[in-house]
Amino acid sequence: MNLSDPANLLIASIYYVLTGIMSFFSIFAVYILMRYGRSTLLAFSVSVFYIFIFLSVLGTSHQALQTLLQ
């Protein structure tokens, strides 16, 4: 990533702030699901599935950011 350009720095900072906010709410959602879910096994399964989906989307978006900023 070339962060010497101010536009690239602004894009990257907005991306990382939004990613941090989404990560916080995702962790909170998984906690709520695990804490207040009726079936612990089902809540755990859904949480693991959500974590894998979230991490794959996060990885894809990070790759897109790197491609955009090159």
| Burial class of residue 6, CB neighbours in 10 A (0-12, 13-18, 19+) | exposed
Residue positions counted in the chain: 70
pLDDT on residue 28 = 95
- Judged against a pLDDT cut of 90, whether residue 1 lies above it is answered with no
d(CA 3, CA 15): 13
Q: Are 70 and 1 in contact (CB under 8 A)?
A: yes
pLDDT in tens, 43-65: 999 999 999 999 999 999 999 99
- Judged against a pLDDT cut of 90, whether residue 3 lies above it is answered with no
Both structure tokens of 28: 């909170």
Within 13 Å and on the Cβ side, how many CA atoms surround 15?
17
pLDDT in tens, 18-42: 999 999 999 999 999 999 988 989 9
